[in-house]
Chain A
């Protein structure tokens, strides 16, 4: 490993990314779809000269700015903050590959915030045409930022032919790109309608206006839901084989997929029965329920998207434990401790007597006192396994998974994690190091639960 492994007890550091990412997508999609909503509806309100609707749209624009410009922007930066801390090698790789993709996205961010503020703060002070133009500039920029970031996130799931030629455009237009752009655009339309229902249900007292809002937002919601479904199918088709297998194998992912499926149908049904057929149903309670279901679908979807990449963080490019696939062979030969920048410095500082002619002597490791061997096993765990497993308690805690295992079984797993489960990265150390890790794992493995016949 090139970088230090940030130890987050209980949760594991990549889980922090998942949490922030979920918190972010719930708003970032609204930032795109809501922009389109404001552009289309402002145009409609001007054209029909509907003063009440315009007043509502201004109120909505304020809510929109409060949510997207503050929370959306900060959580977006927050994802970037956490990936650098939890997955530095992947971040390094993405940034060296796509820095100009981000730079392009940045240009659109600038346009977004400036147009959004002008749209809101100069409401009524610009000619209607110019005012609408601001909304369209916003909507277009926001959608472009979605397209640009999707090229990069989709790359992580299926890097396609990039591995061969390392070409920016090959990476950007990867097999997942089109399906995910469709799905995310749909998600933006759907989610923003749910935000609109929620906001209108609480803020609009006039029932005629509320019905108008509800019915006008239904078409985008339904189109959005259809795009999500269509994009989702494409997403599945263009998944790498390993991700499809992971989806089928992991029980938690199965549950999430069923949840997504059921909730999507429920959202469809509620949209049809509610806003489309009975706009007057859109009460605060109804809107909250619909909104909550939408958020649940999105969160589950985002979690699945993050989870199916295992054992990679960037498919075929960077492994979850922050090493490159091409490094595995050398590490097996030289040793994981020796090959890692920080692990090797650690061993040299703590156990200078295992270093012979500038190299860590693998045999000498096993001559250390038992507590030291276990400690080094723990170092190996931190740097080889802790990106997916907590230690004794917490997220996928290894001690709980190993409960009741014999030392031979544990050693077998340590030497062949990728054969036990294809979604674990291959063992990238020497046999001696496998022994150290085994000793550590044996020391924390609880016995088989008592009381069973």
Chain B
């Protein structure tokens, strides 16, 4: 059995918009998803550790992050919808089979997420003024932290299995009844899985560090100068650790790529992108380094933007690698386009109008924040 035998026919409906449009929204959406996702992936874990063993400032940091966490999670899930939608438009022929082969673990994400999310809310009730972090609440926080890490592993499985078609035939034959998958597979036979997941962990560490600076510079104006100094110091330390981690796992990840992916990503012109994605985190690191004594609002905003750029570069390169890996089996750019112009325009108009409303709402919040409480 060759993996290409397992790719079904294209949809007779064609793409509703050109491939570049679909992939742009997919990559943009994933970049947006990564920011909050990194904060819960690694942030909750660190927050739990610091809440238990940190000094006052570390505890303060932990409490600040966890208080924001319900909103962060809501936004992160919401942002995840965009790439998932466009993945299903453009990569459906590999996305559905891959997730069906691991249907139960994939389905488990929803269960885990429900518990993890409520766990965070339970934890946060312990942070209210006058409330106490009881053992139960702490336990809920830990359970959430672990569930989020587990979910991230399942996501890495899903999205790597989607391009690792060579594993499908065996996985399918091992976990099925009369040709129907039981949906109990995972992509653990893929050498790219572990480094890919661990690399994401490293990148998430850097995002947590960058966000700490952003938060201290933009939101935490009522915090003490000592806290802000601590935050600067913490951010520099953790960004450095994240950077090293990212570099080590990134190199490991690269070494597990199929030869053609490596060849293309390491030769002109894509080498430029690879280099940018690899060196990108240097910029936020430098910005954090400059703020090690004092975080300023302008530089903090710049740090946030720079980190967003790092994530965008990462999202773009992983998209290209994804297409190269898939290229052996399927050319996702080759499907006919059946442009749905008027719905597309209505969507774009609503999108712009919606952004306008968001800006208005955030402006009102900004005003409220400026007023003394």
Interface residues, chain A, CB within 8 Å of chain B? Answer: 2-8, 13, 16, 20, 66, 69-71, 73-75, 77-78, 80-82, 84-85, 88, 91-93, 95-97, 99-104, 106-111, 113-115, 117-118, 121-122, 125-126, 130, 134, 137, 166, 168-169, 324, 341-346, 348-349, 375, 378-379, 381-383, 386
Given contacts A77-B81, A344-B5, A378-B178, A97 and B74 within 8 Å (CB-CB): no
Q: For residue B184, give the distance in angstroms from its CB to the closest CB of chain A.
A: 10
Q: Is the CB of A74 within 8 A of B77?
A: yes
Instruction: Choose one: B86, B107, B172; the contact of A81 (CB below 8 Å).
Output: B107
- Whether B110 contacts A93 by the Cβ 8 Å rule is no
Given contacts A3-B100, A73-B77, A82-B107, contact A96 B180 (CB under 8 A): no
- Nearest first, the 6 A-B pairs at minimum CB distance are A2-B8, A7-B180, A100-B343, A382-B180, A378-B178, A88-B96
Assess whether B365 is interfacial by the CB under 8 Å rule.
yes
The distance in angstroms between the C-alpha atoms of A113 and B70, with both chains bound, is 11
Q: Which residue of B lies closest to A116 (CB)?
A: B74
Identify the closest chain A residue to B102 (Cβ).
Answer: A85
Q: Does more than half of chain B's interface fall in helix, strand or loop, or is it mixed?
A: helix
CB pair B82 A106 closer than 8 Å? yes
Query: From residue B327, how far is it (CB to closest CB) to chain A in Å?
Result: 20
Contacting B5 at CB < 8 Å: which of A71, A84, A103, A341? A341
Residue in B96, B97, B342 whose CB lies within 8 Å of A169: B342
Counting chain A CB atoms within 10 Å of each CB, the highest count among B103, B106, B176, B180 belongs to B180
One of B42-50, B299-307, B349-357 at the interface: B349-357
Those of B153-201 within 8 Å (CB) of chain A: 169, 172-173, 176-183
CB A378 to nearest CB in B, in angstroms, measures 4
Verify B11–A382 contact, CB threshold 8 A: no
Known: A96-B14, A125-B368. A77 touches B77 (CB 8 A): yes
A71 to B373, CA, bound (A): 32
Given contacts A104-B346, A134-B361, 9 further A-B contacts (CB under 8 A): A66-B121, A88-B100, A97-B13, A100-B340, A104-B350, A111-B354, A168-B340, A345-B169, A349-B1
Q: How far is the CB of B88 from chain A (nearest CB, A)?
A: 5
Complex Cα distance, B248 from A58, in Å, reads: 49
Stretch binding the partner chain, chosen from B111-119, B133-141, B263-271? B111-119
Query: Can you spell out 20 A-B residue pairs with CB atoms less than 8 angstroms apart?
Result: A5-B180, A5-B181, A6-B100, A77-B77, A91-B96, A95-B88, A96-B92, A97-B13, A100-B340, A100-B344, A100-B346, A106-B85, A107-B351, A117-B71, A134-B364, A169-B343, A342-B97, A346-B179, A382-B177, A382-B178
Nearest chain B residue, comparing its CB with the CB of A167: B340
Once the chains are docked, how many angstroms separate the CA of A92 from the CA of B85?
11
- Is A96's CB under 8 angstroms from B13's CB? yes
Q: How far is the CA of A349 from the CA of B172 in the complex (A)?
A: 12
Asked if residues B99 and A85 are in contact (CB atoms below 8 Å), the reply is yes
A91–B87 Cα gap in the complex (Å)?
12
Q: Which of B88, B181, B368 contacts A84 (CB 8 A)?
A: B88
Is the CB–CB distance between B13 and A81 below 8 Å?
no
Question: Which chain B residues lie closer than 8 Å to A103 at the CB level?
Answer: 85, 347, 351
B109 touches A81 (CB 8 A): yes
Known A-B contacts A4-B97, A77-B110, A84-B99; A96 and B89 likewise in contact (beta carbons under 8 Å): yes
Question: Which B1-36 residues have a C-beta within 8 angstroms of A?
Answer: 1, 5-9, 11-17
